[in-house]
Structures are given as structure tokens and as C-alpha cells.
Chains A and B, each alone.
Chain A
Amino acid sequence: DVKVTQSSRYLVKRTGEKVFLECVQDMDHENMFWYRQDPGLGLRLIYFSYDVKMKEKGDIPEGYSVSREKKERFSLILESASTNQTSMYLCASLTGVGETQYFGPGTRLLVL
């Protein structure tokens, strides 16, 4: 079974803090993704990466950056957390075009 893990299930941070969300997959997938999910807005793509050290902006990259130093790990960074970044963050990975995405359990981030 594919396993995608995220470093925290719940996180509380203060406005202005730098926040790191980690995602690790164990199936040697090349492609990894970060989404946020908000009520009424559905899943929105923040960034994705199709190879180590490669990254592409998704639909809502503002206020976020990412890092992919190793194939199995994809990190999402909030440089200076703001209250409008309170959300559920979901990481996903897949093998290639047309394949299924597998999601991690999500991180519920609250920014105070």
C-alpha cells in the first residue's frame, strides 16, 4: 500500500511565525502536491513538484514556498503565517500522468 505521511495532524501557530509542513511518501513517486481545503472552496492546489528540486506553482501559491531536496519528501513553508492561512493542508503523490493521487492524512493548521 502507498503510504503518504504528514508531520503533524494538528498545528497551532501565531501570526508571523514561519511554519514548516512536511510530507513523506514511501512509494518512490516522482510527483508530489500540496493542497489546501477550505469549506465551500474545495481543494486548491498550492504547489507541485515533478522531480527533486523541481517545483511548479499551482493555483494559489502566494504566501507559500516549497522544498523538494529528496524524492520522498516535499515540504510546504509558510514564510510568515497569517490568519487567512488557517486551513486543512493535504499532501499527495502519484507515479505519473493519468495515475491516481494518494493523499496524506492532512494537517489542520490554526493561525492565531
Chain B
Amino acid sequence: RKEVEQDPGPFNVPEGATVAFNCTYSNSASQSFFWYRQDCRKEPKLLMSVYSSGNEDGRFTAQLNRASQYISLLIRDSKLSDSATYLCVVNGPTGYALNFGKGTSLLVTP
């Protein structure tokens, strides 16, 4: 079983739509969780950390379900500029290295 699994998509949504991504992880001892965003031919950049109680940053909401070992990202009121690949990231066995999902591709259309 892969450490971190995501639906690769692509998710094609119209502007203004709400879209949700899920991600599952296999290491129940993981303590740190993140969503990164990666634009085409660019490096990944942190979108938001994911906290146990759930957290929100503007149009973005992240949630963690430890019992089921999954993480979600909700994007409300999608913008064209949200088009990117979203990477689910979980810290690995050593604690230092991070395990990256392969990413979910989002395309927001006019």
C-alpha cells in the first residue's frame, strides 16, 4: 500500500464551483499533514497545514480524520487561478522526511 494516495483527477470545474479532494495515508503514527500546491513546471509550495480540529484559510478548508486516516481539502468559489496540482503530504517514519501523494489535478474553467 502506498504511503499517501490521492485521486489524480483531473477535476474540471467551472468558476465559482466548490470542489473537494480527499487523500488517505497508511502510517497511523503520522503527526504532520499538509496540502501543497504545484503549478505547472514550478516547485511545490505550501498551501496550508492540516490540524486535528480542522482549519480554514479564506476559501480553503482542510480537515483531518485520524480514525479513518484521511485528509480533505475543500475549495469554495473556485477561481481560474486555483488551477494547479494539489499534493497531499504526510510526515514519514523518520518524522523529518515527508511523504507526498502524486497529486490531484484541478482545472477551473470560465
Contact = CB atoms under 8 A, between A and B. Distances in A.
Interface string B57-86: 000000000000000000000000000000
Interface residues of B, number: 21
A105 B31 contact: no
Interface in B78-101: 87, 89, 91, 94-98, 100-101
A45 B101 CA distance: 12
B42 to A, nearest CB: 7
Interface stretch (A11-19, A64-72, A74-82, A95-103): A95-103
Contact of B87 (A43, A48, A99): A43
Contact of A94 (B49, B96, B102): B96
B32 interface: yes
The prevalent SS among residues of B at the interface is: loop
Most interface-central of B45, B95, B97 (chain A CB within 10 A): B97
Contacts of B102: 40-42
Contacts of B44: 43, 90, 103
Interface in A33-52: 33, 35, 40-43, 45, 48, 50
Interface residues of A, number: 25
B98 A101 contact: yes
A17 B35 CA distance: 37
Given A31-B96, A43-B44, 5 more contacts: A33-B97, A48-B97, A56-B94, A98-B31, A98-B32
Interface of B: 31-32, 34, 42-46, 49, 87, 89, 91, 94-98, 100-103
Interface of A: 31, 33, 35, 40-43, 45, 48, 50, 56, 58, 90, 94, 96-106
